[in-house]
Amino acid sequence: MKSEIFFEAIRNRKRLKLRYGFTEITFEPYYLATNKFGGKVVFGRINRCNEIKMLEFDKIFNINILEMSKFSPLIPLLPV
């Protein structure tokens, strides 16, 4: 069920409000993957900060899609 919510949010570029551990955050999901231990993870930005974070699926609870809130992915520019 979590994967389907994240797939929909990534496809439609919707922000999520979720609880990660004991903290409630707003999250912009970019990419779903597995870590080196075989656990599911999701990459994205937390609360509009400028760095990409990895969240573990096991610590994510109470996911809500924020319907009226879209985002544009942050694409870092590399110096030439």
CATH number at residue 30: 2.30.30
Residue 78, domain member (yes or no): no
For the beta carbon of residue 9, count every other beta carbon within 10 angstroms: 22
Q: What is the pTM of this model?
A: 0.82
Mean pLDDT of 21-35: 93
Count of CB atoms within 10 A of residue 18's CB?
A: 23
The torsion of the CA quartet 53, 13, 67, 28, rounded to 10 degrees, works out to 10
- Contact partners, residue 17, CB within 8 Å, separation at least 6: 24, 25, 26, 27, 63, 64, 66
* Mean per-residue pLDDT, 10-14: 92
The kind and range of the H/E element at 42 are strand 40-46
Domain span including residue 39:
2-69
For residue 43, being part of any structural domain is answered with yes
Residue 9's SS3 state is helix
pLDDT at 77: 58
pLDDT number for residue 49:
85
Residue 75: inside a domain, yes or no? no
Q: Output the pLDDT for position 19.
A: 96
Residue 74 lies in a domain: no
